[in-house]
Amino acid sequence: MSAVVHEKRRVAILINDMNAAGGIQRVAANLVRDLQPWYRTMLLAVEPLRAPVFCEPELDFRSLNCQRVSSSRLMLLRELFVAGRRLRRFVVEKKIDTVLAIWYDMASVAAFAVPRPVRKVGCEHMSYWQATRTWRWIRSRSYPRLDAVVALTVEDLPLLAGISRSARVIPNYVHAVQPAPMERREKILLTVGHLERRKGIDRLLWGLKQALLDHPDWKLVVVGGGEKGHADWNYLDYVSTLIQLLQLQGRVEFHPATSRIDDWYRRASIYVLGSRREGLPMVLIEAKAHGLPIVSFDCPSGPKEIVRNGVDGYLIENDSLEFGEAAGALMSDADLRRRMSAAALEDARLRFSPASILPQWCELIESLHERGN
């Protein structure tokens, strides 16, 4: 690690909610843990810590205890104002040096609430255009007040650079794992994510219909959803109807979100992604770290910066037939799965390891404090 820190700065990673087991929560917990050699880190959730995920004894989890239940813009603004006031008090009382605020709403709150000389960094977790028009307007007014903004993708960098003082790309990372041998894996096509339209489970069903019918010993496993705000029940009704329509009964399994998602990565043989929009999908990086070949729709941002088409997976434009053919080729060919698995493992170790990503966070934090007020 190149950064030299004489006294450990106090760094708070700000996130809205740590009670749902998603990629954003895993990213936050990883940063709190892995920056500890250089900083005094803590995770600061806005919502109460009812059943926090990825919580470990050595990690310092705190909460502002602001319950967010807004059903209108006026209530939302009031809740964000209360959260900002409590955030400001917390930062001052705990003598925080740096706030890393994850997601555009938390970054916008930090932009206005966190006082100087505390450094404040907005950390994006999804594509630029995924925010609503209202939030894009708020972001354009608040981000110039941040010291820096971290984008997940090269594609979003110029857009964020246009509304902030400083912007750079720092991807997510994963720890090295011991992948299961190919011969021990089950014939599972795995997808992980919240149960909502954006994640495109319906696109997976259309794309994988023929491949599943042609390979009766394979199944699609969907892991995720069920927590507050992470399942769209009307969408799930549609998905259930679609399963019946496509005659895929018994070929698709749904399992709840879990903090032990690595167990599913070890069981699966192929990872599939149907998302319509993404940031830099943590699930794809985790899948590569476990040596899973990937078949993904090439949504506007994210997958193309992880999957190397034809090398460790397939990137498919909006074409269900082509998606199914790619999945079917992998399902039929164990040697192809092994080759892509080896390529995925090597790339994950080179591009998405803590050793390659953490120095970028240290360099950013130190550079902000070296600038002066």
Q: Where does 9-173+353-370 sit in CATH, by number?
A: 3.40.50.2000
Beta carbons of 205 and 246 less than 8 angstroms apart:
yes
pLDDT in tens, 175-188: 989 899 988 999 99
Cα(172)–Cα(280) distance, integer angstroms: 7
pTM of the model: 0.85
CA distances from 359 to 50, 257, 291, 319, 364 (A): 33, 31, 25, 39, 9
pLDDT number for residue 344? 97
Nearest to 100 by CA among 143, 148, 56, 162: 148
For range 302-326, the mean pLDDT: 96
Average of per-residue pLDDT values in the chain: 93
Tell me if 9-173+353-370 shares its fold with 182-351: yes
Where do the domains of the chain lie?
Answer: 9-173+353-370, 182-351
DSSP code per residue over 94-152: TT--EEEEESHHHHHHHHHHSPTTSEEEEE--S-GGGS-HHHHHHHHHHGGGSSEEEES
Cα(355)–Cα(365) distance, integer angstroms: 17
Structure token pair of residue 368: 């902000």
Cα(362)–Cα(182) distance, integer angstroms: 37
For range 19-44, the mean pLDDT: 94
**Pure H helices in 187-314:** 201-214, 233-245, 262-267, 282-289
Cα(288)–Cα(346) distance, integer angstroms: 9
Q: Which CATH class is domain 182-351?
A: alpha beta
Amino acid at 282: M
Cα(245)–Cα(263) distance, integer angstroms: 31
pLDDT number for residue 372? 63
